[in-house]
């Protein structure tokens, strides 16, 4: 058998094609780097520096509660037409109250010369929850648990308040809703629950 001549076999043809392709790529790279490019302009030519628009911080969030201090131990929310006691039961008595004790406490109030104070609904409690405020005003002044309450309310407050919303069941001790002013959520609690809680009385101002 006659051996194939050098440069005539399939391997040689493949090698020549690879060499031609490599030479083409090299010439293309040199052309781009030298500024020739396809459009006659180097992609690396100096350009105007990018100038970002100056950062404008957003305006601070606005409180949704429009509270007016009436100077008689009461606050009026002009947005909702509700009047609140400036002190809650914890600030007033220095202790927590369960749900039934809170109802009796509210009925006996004469704050601001008014005798129609009542327990707020859960929806009404939510209207004074203010996520733009963080005030260390709880009864034990725990810095790790500031209250989302306006500073117009009195210091020494409870951390959560009972709502009027309740449901009598066959279980003697169940249950009523409450609102937690540290994190802004409601809980269903047994009537005898007390720790850190109390009542914030409300009345209709209009």
Q: Measure the CA–CA gap between 120 and 118, rounded to whole angstroms.
A: 6
User: What's the pLDDT at 191?
Assistant: 94
- pTM of the entire structure? 0.70
Adjacency order of strands within the sheet including 174-180: 185-190, 174-180, 160-166, 197-198
pLDDT tens digits, 26-68: 665 555 555 544 455 566 677 788 788 888 888 777 777 789 9
- Continuous segment of H or E residues that includes residue 203: strand 202-204
Q: Mean pLDDT score of the chain, rounded to an integer?
A: 86
The confidence band for 6, taking pLDDT boundaries of 50, 70 and 90, is: low
Share of the chain above pLDDT 70, in %: 78
Closest CA to 179 of 165, 195, 161: 161
**Mean pLDDT computed over 116-132:** 96
Please name the residue ranges forming H helices in 34-109. 89-93, 99-107
User: What's the pLDDT at 86?
Assistant: 98
pLDDT tens digits, 134-156: 999 999 999 999 999 999 999 99
């Amino acid at each position: 058998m006659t051996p194939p001549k050098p440069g005539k076999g399939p391997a040689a043809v493949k090698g020549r094609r690879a060499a031609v392709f490599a030479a083409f790529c090299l010439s293309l790279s040199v052309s781009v780097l030298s500024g020739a490019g396809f459009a006659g302009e180097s992609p690396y030519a100096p350009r105007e520096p990018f100038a970002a628009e100056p950062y404008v911080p957003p305006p601070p969030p606005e409180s949704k509660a429009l509270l007016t201090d009436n100077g008689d131990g009461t606050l009026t929310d002009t947005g909702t037409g509700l009047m609140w006691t400036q002190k809650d039961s914890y600030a007033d008595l220095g202790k927590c109250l369960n749900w039934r004790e809170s109802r009796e406490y509210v009925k006996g109030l004469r704050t601001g010369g008014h005798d129609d104070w009542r327990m707020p609904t859960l929806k009404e409690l939510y209207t004074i929850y203010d996520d733009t405020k963080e005030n260390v005003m709880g009864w034990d002044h725990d810095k790790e648990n500031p209250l989302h309450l306006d500073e117009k309310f009195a210091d020494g407050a409870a951390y959560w308040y009972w709502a009027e919303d309740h449901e009598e069941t066959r279980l003697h001790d169940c249950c009523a809703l409450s609102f937690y002013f540290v994190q802004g959520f409601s809980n269903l609690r047994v009537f005898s629950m007390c720790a850190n809680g109390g009542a914030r009385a409300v009345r209709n101002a209009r």
